[in-house]
Amino acid sequence: MRLIAIIFLLLFIAAGIVFGALNADLASFDLGFAQLSLPKGGAMLSAVLVGWILGGVTAWLGTSLGHRRRRRRERKVANATTA
């Protein structure tokens, strides 16, 4: 299973390198507080990376807060039964 994951990772890295090389033209971005000129491929890949990280953090926070709430509720029930 680990070998398959490594192969897929290498395939996506190779696809990203090819994508970046084929889209080497500069694109200008005005963020309001800063202006950037980045290659199109790099801008796309960085946008995907930022979205992936933000999605992961959101999912982690959602499950983490749910687990914390559940543990707190179980602790209250345990304290009520022992008291």
What is the residue extent of each domain of the chain?
A: 2-82
- The pair of structure tokens assigned to 70 is 């559940």
Predicted model pTM? 0.57
Is residue 11's pLDDT more than 70? yes
The answer to whether 27 touches 39, Cβ cutoff 8 Å, is yes
pLDDT tens digits for range 35-81: 989 888 778 878 889 999 999 999 888 888 778 888 888 888 888 88
pLDDT at 82 over 90: no
What's the CA gap between 22 and 17, in Å, rounded? 9
Please report the pLDDT score of residue 83 as a whole number.
66
Q: Which string of b and e fits 40-56 if b means at least 16 CB within 10 Å?
A: ebbbbbeeeeeeeeeee
Confidence (pLDDT) at 58: 92
pLDDT reading at 31 higher than 70: yes
User: What are the structure tokens assigned to 32, written together?
Assistant: 């309001």
